[in-house]
Amino acid sequence: MAAKSIKNIVQDLLKNADVTIDGNRPWDIQVNNEGFYSRILSDGSLALGESYMDGWWECNAIDQLIDRIIRANLHKKITSTREIIWSLIKTRLMNQQRLSKAFEIGKHHYDIGNDLFINMLDKRMNYSSAYWKNVRTLDDAQEAKLDLTCKKLKLSKGMRVLDIGCGWGSFAIYAAEKFRVSVVGITISKEQVSLVSELHNRLDIEIKLMDYRDLNDKFDRIVSIGMFEHVGHKNHRRFFEVVNRCLNEDGIFLLHTIGGNTSATTTDPWINKYIFPNSLIPSAHQITKASEGLLKLEDWHNFGADYDKTLMSWYANFHKNWQTIKPSYSDRFYRMWKYYLLSCAGSFRAQHNRLWQIVFSKLASQIYYDSVR
C-alpha cells in the first residue's frame, strides 16, 4: 500500500472526529514524522501514545483530541490485532494480578519518585479524583472528597478503620485527625510507606507493606480508594471475600473506583505498558457480581466529570513544576506523563471512564443507610 493512501486513510478516519492533520485548532494534530500514519494503522492506541512520546506528532490540547477520538469511536476502529490477541491469551491463561505479581505495580508506578507526586498532587497527596462541588481549588476539592468519604462511612471516635490501598496516607491522616479514629493502611509501594511514616506524626495510624489477600483482622469500617482498578477480574470475588471477612457485622465498606461502561478483561495497551501494568477498569456488572451474596449495596454515586477536572489540575501542577523535578526524569518521561494525564482527562470527558463511590454493608446488618452528597 502506498504511503499516500495510508495517510489518506488516517486523515479520513480523523475527519470523523473533526480532527485535521496540521490544522490550527487546539485539538488538531501536527505530524513531524510521515511514518506516523502507517504506525497508527499497525498498532492503534499503543502507537498513538508511543509515537507522541517519540516526538512524531504534536497537539496543543491532547485532552480535547482524545475526547473527540473516543466520542467518534475511533479507538475501536483503529486497534492492534496483535496486541488484542496477546492480551486475551494472557488474561485467559494467567492471573495477571496474582499474589506473586502484587508488588509489580508499586515498583513500576508508585515508587518512581515521591518528588514527582509531591509536585503534582494536592497538599494531602491524594492520588484519586477530587470532589469539586462548591469548591474552586484542588486542595479544597480533595478535602471535600475526604470529608464526603468519611461522612458516607459514618465515622465516629474510637472506630477501627482499614484503608486498602492507602497511598500516601491522605484518607488515613484526615480520618484520624478529624474523626479521631484508628486507621490501618496497606499499600504495595515502599515509597508510600516511607513518606506516610514521616507525615502522620503521633496519630493513631499504622501503615503496612502488604497485599490485601493477606488481611485477616476485624474492622468497624473499610475503605478502598483508587485501588480496585489493580485487582483484576479474576480476583474481584476474592477481594470482596476479604472485605467481608474483615468487616464487623455492623460495619460499612466504601469502594471508590474508576468504572467502565462495559465489562472488559483487558486494558488499553499503552496504559498497560507504560503507566499501570496489569490494571483493569471494572464495570458495574463485574462489581455487583463479585459482591453478590457477600455484601449489601447501600449507595452508588457517580461523579466522573470531577476526575476530568482533577486530571487537568494535576497536569497544570506537573507542567508548572517540571523544571523542579526535571533532573530526575527524562524529556521522554515528560511527554509520556503529559500524554497519560491529558488522555485520561479526555477519556473521562467523553464519559468512556466513570468514577464511582459505592457503599456496602454486611448482609445481616440492620443499618439504615442514608445517602450523603
Whose cell is 493512501? That residue is 5
182-187/205-209 β-pairing: parallel
Report the 10 Å Cβ neighbour count for 364.
8
Residue 166 annotated in active site:
no
Q: What gap in Å lies between CA 364 and CA 294, rounded to an integer?
A: 10
Whose cell is 509536585? That residue is 119
Q: Read off the C-alpha cell for 140.
A: 479544597
Angle at 368 between CA 366 and CA 373, to 5 degrees: 145
Q: What gap in Å lies between CA 37 and CA 373, rounded to an integer?
A: 47
Residue type, 8: N
Query: Which residue among the candidates 59, 166, 246, 344 is catalytic per the annotation?
Result: 344
Q: Which residues contact 341 (CB under 8 A, 6 or more apart)?
A: 311, 312, 314, 315, 318
Catalytic residue positions, numbered: 344
